[in-house]
């Protein structure tokens, strides 16, 4: 069984905490993608729709140590305009269908810097920030599901004003444990 991309047997280590770093979608975009996630993502109810900057990871670092790393990375970043575009996937190495983030590199650089500062490996070579729409789809249904999702997810943009560090509560739903506001453009 998997929970938010992690197999249950990897989630029972009490010496390691689990986190992810995300940007939550604004309500109007969450409403757009939520029915698709409910249909194609077995973990849809575990967390609201979001852009994944750093996929779920386990660490021995404390929340305070992780917060300092994130704060240092985001302290000079102004509000991020995020452009969502085409549908992609990480198959076969990582079973996720996603709504891709098209950016001028700023979001990808932020994501990769966070992976490096947290001493984490990228989950797959092509990894980039994204909104997960489907998971655990069998290989033979992958193209069919992507074709079903694509018409419902047009190109959209929004401005993110914060980044969240999230963690599971009692091994289930993921909630924000720290929010890091971005600089507001004047």
Provide φ and ψ at 172, rounded to 5°: -125, -105
First to last CA, the chain: 47
**According to the model, what pLDDT value does residue 90 have?**
83
**According to the model, what pLDDT value does residue 7 have?**
43
**According to the model, what pLDDT value does residue 123 have?**
81
**According to the model, what pLDDT value does residue 64 have?**
94
**According to the model, what pLDDT value does residue 10 have?**
45
For the chain of 186 residues, list the mean pLDDT of each consecutive stretch of 10.
42 68 95 93 90 93 95 86 89 85 83 94 83 83 83 90 92 90 71
119 Rama sector, left if φ>0, alpha if ψ -120 to 50, beta otherwise: left
Respond yes or no on whether the N-terminal peptide bond of residue 92 is cis (omega within 30° of 0). yes
DSSP string covering 127-139? ---EEEEEES--G
**According to the model, what pLDDT value does residue 4 have?**
45
Rounded distance, CA 132 to CA 26, Å?
15
| Strands 50-59 and 17-24, sheet pairing | antiparallel
**According to the model, what pLDDT value does residue 9 have?**
43
């Amino acid at each position: 069984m998997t929970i938010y991309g992690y197999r249950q047997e990897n989630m029972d280590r009490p010496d390691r905490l689990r986190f992810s770093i995300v940007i939550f979608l604004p309500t109007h975009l969450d409403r757009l993608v939520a029915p698709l996630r409910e249909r194609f993502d077995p973990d849809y109810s575990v967390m609201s729709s979001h852009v994944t900057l750093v996929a779920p990871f386990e660490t021995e670092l404390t929340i305070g140590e992780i917060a300092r790393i994130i704060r240092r990375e985001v302290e000079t970043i102004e509000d991020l305009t995020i452009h969502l575009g085409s549908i992609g996937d990480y198959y076969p190495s990582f079973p996720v269908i996603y709504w891709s983030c098209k950016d001028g590199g700023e979001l990808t650089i932020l994501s990769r810097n966070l992976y490096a500062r947290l001493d984490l490996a990228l989950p797959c070579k092509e990894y980039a920030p994204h909104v997960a729409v489907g998971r655990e789809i069998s290989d033979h249904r992958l193209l069919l599901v992507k074709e079903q999702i694509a018409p419902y997810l047009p190109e959209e943009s929004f401005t993110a004003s914060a980044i969240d560090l999230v963690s599971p509560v009692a091994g289930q739903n993921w909630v924000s444990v720290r929010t890091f506001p971005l600089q507001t453009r004047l």
